[in-house]
Each structure stands twice: as C-alpha cells, then as structure tokens.
Amino acid sequence: MPVIETHNLERVYQDGSQVIKAVDGIDLQIDEGEFTAIVGPSGSGKTTLLNLIGGLDKPTGGQVSIAGENISDLSDNQMINFRLEHIGFVFQAYNLIPVLTAVENVEFIMLLQKKSKVERRRRATQLLEAVGLGDRLDKKPGELSGGQQQRVAVARALASKPDFVLADEPTANLDSASTANLLDIMARLNREENMTFVFATHDQRVIDRAKRIITVEDGKIKSDVKVDH
C-alpha cells in the first residue's frame, strides 16, 4: 500500500483580485521505501505540495491519504496527533529548541507521545549515535555547527518512528561536506531501514541522490522519473 496518495489535490490562494493555484490537480502516489525529490523553480508549488502532504496546510480541493487514511477531513487537533505519530519533518531552518541539549531535542517528540523516560533516552541516544553525534549529546544547538544541527533534526524526525520523513530544502544552509554527510546518513537509513524520504529541493546534490525525481511547474506535475543509480 502506498504511504502517500493525493487525488486531484488543489491549493488556491487569493491575492487581491488574483487567484493563484499553487497546487493544481495533482495525483501522486509514493510507496514505502522511496527516496524522492520534488523539484521545480521558486513558486512552482513544491513546498505547498509538501505542506499539504504533511498536513501543515489544508487543501482547497481533492484529498491527501497517509497510510490509507484521508487526512483532509481531520480537525486541527486530530491532525496534530496524526502528524505526531506518522510524519517526520526536517526543515531548512533546523527548528531546534535552543535551550535543550541535542538529546533533549530528539527526546521532545517522544515526550509528547508520552513515552517513558528510559525509552526516550535510549532511542534518542541511539539515533544521535546513528547520525554520528554520539559525542555531542549534551551540546545545545548554539554549540553545534549547522551540519550537526541538521543531523540532530534528522534524528528528531526519526524519533517518533514515522511512516515517512518530509524534508523541505534540508541542505540549503549547509556546506558541501555537511550536505554529503547528511545525504549519506539519509541514504543509509533509506537503504537499511526502508525509511521513506520526500524532499522538496533546488539542490542538485540532493537531486543527484534521489531515486525518483518529480518536477513541479505552475502547480502541476510536469515529469515523474525513476532513476537507477
């Protein structure tokens, strides 16, 4: 069964008298274990599409189904709980909590899930070790480099054991070495744990690693290509 499905998905914005179709009738299916890049110029609709899939924005028309459940009909509170259990997010701006250490940042989502203290610490430590930060558990975001902060964000996205991870321009603020390191980690998680990743990106370095490239233009899918590396 696909982990993500959209049917005739639309998101329309009103800008004064002008109607803007940011997402215009998109049908999409993403299966478990895919490593997919959604690409296109600025204003093409790729971030809006990602936000609709993640339940951060509501469609004007059509629907989004995650693991067989239509999320378009969920209330705001239901959507918050659904995201907590099913969807991991990695953002361009990291969005870490500055007063918490790396391990506490990763634990935070499991705290919301009401996991035990012992389980939270065990899983957070394990994930930070997996992303190469076993020696940085007690460092706060301000004591970490950009690449290290983004790796904490990846560990946090995985902490809830989501169905998939959505990554919006995750490499935009990173240098080449940090980007390569981050993509190596994500590719390994994809390969070894069958974790599904969906990127919205301009970054050719991400596109070069993707196994499927979906090009969006003017709110529509222009091409959808599977790549065999």
| CATH number, domain containing residue 42 | 3.40.50.300
Q: Which two tokens stand for residue 200?
A: 């919205």
Residue 50, Cβ density class (10 Å: 0-12 exposed, 13-18 middle, ≥19 buried): buried
Distance CA 65, CA 98 (A): 34
Annotate 156-192 with three-state secondary structure.
HHHHCCCCEEEEECCCCCCCHHHHHHHHHHHHHHHHH
* Angle between helices 117-130 and 146-159 in degrees, nearest 10: 130
Place of tokens 């469609």: 59
pLDDT tens for the chain, 229 residues: list them: 799 999 999 999 988 888 889 999 999 999 999 999 999 988 899 999 999 999 999 999 999 999 889 998 899 999 999 998 899 999 888 889 999 999 999 999 899 889 999 999 999 999 999 888 999 999 999 999 999 998 999 999 989 889 999 999 888 888 888 889 889 988 988 998 899 999 999 899 999 999 999 999 999 999 999 988 6
Distance CA 1, CA 185 (A): 26
Look at the chain and report how many structural domains it folds into. 1
Distance CA 9, CA 82 (A): 20
Place of tokens 């070069």: 208
Q: Which domain holds residue 24?
A: 4-226
Question: pTM for this one?
Answer: 0.90
Do residues 52 and 9 touch, judged by C-beta distance below 8 A?
yes
Q: Which two tokens stand for residue 145?
A: 């480099």
Distance CA 201, CA 213 (A): 10
Do residues 9 and 71 touch, judged by C-beta distance below 8 A?
no
